[in-house]
Amino acid sequence: MGVGRMGLPLERVSDEALLSGLATGDPEIAVAFVRRFQRAVYGVAVAVVGDPRIAEDVAQQTFERAWRHAQVYDGRRGSVGAWLTAIAHNLAIDAVRARRATPVSPEDLETLVGIVSETPERRALADDAAERVRRAVAALPREQARALVMAGIYGMTAREVAAFEGVPLGTAKTRIRAGTIKVRALLESEGTR
């Protein structure tokens, strides 16, 4: 018996059950799954790539990948939403890397950190999850925020961040890691309120 055939409206079915049902190819379940997560997935994609059309492509690829790899989801490692947004984030970084024609100048980083923190366009396009991430990044110390933006949005390696910032590799790694831990903690604390 499929998820949608259990007598429960699909809106009340758990995320994990919807993901399991997605692998069956049931179109009703697929539509319910996409509707449940489309804002979060698109919000992450648009926050990373900055282009609504490319973000739509990334979101589509995210749902295709979720459908193909639903069986590898492990609930012990995080929620379905976190798994999907991680897929979207990775695909969005790949899209940014693919179209990155020129390196980012150090002068542009302050603007970039500001964009991640606040802009009306981003706020209008991105969903609540992306807004929470921007607030969490904006709450970081400046050097951690810069390192996290370079690594997370521009997909730079720790070595590239170190060279760019003129700091030792270990310092760059520490800034990225500490920033990631702080953002994760802030997001988790917001989620429990």
For residue range 67-101, list pLDDT tens digits in order.
Answer: 888 888 887 888 888 888 889 998 988 888 777 65
Give the pLDDT confidence score for residue 175 in this predicted structure: 92
41-75 burial, b for 16+ CB within 10 Å, e for fewer?
A: bbbbbbbbbbeeebbeebbebbbeebeeebeebee
pLDDT at 167: 92
Average pLDDT value for the chain: 78
3 state DSSP class of 2: coil
Question: How does pLDDT run across 40-53, given as a tens digit for each residue?
Answer: 899 889 888 888 89
| Residue 103 scores a pLDDT above 90 | no
pLDDT in tens, 164-185: 888 999 999 999 999 889 888 8
Whole-number Å distance between alpha carbons of 43 and 20: 24
Q: Is residue 125 predicted with pLDDT exceeding 50?
A: no
Exposure string (b/e) for 110-148, b if CB count within 10 Å is 16 or more?
eebbebbbeeeebeebbbebbebbbbbbeebeebbbbbb
Higher pLDDT, 94 or 120: 94
% of the chain with per-residue pLDDT over 90 = 11
Q: What's the start-to-end Cα distance of the chain, in Å?
A: 36
- Provide the angle, in degrees to the nearest 10, between the axes of the packed helices 15-22 and 52-68: 80
Report whether pLDDT(33) > 50. yes
In this prediction, residue 115 has a pLDDT band, given cuts at 50, 70 and 90, of low
- The pair of three-digit structure tokens given for residue 5, joined into one six-digit string: 């055939």
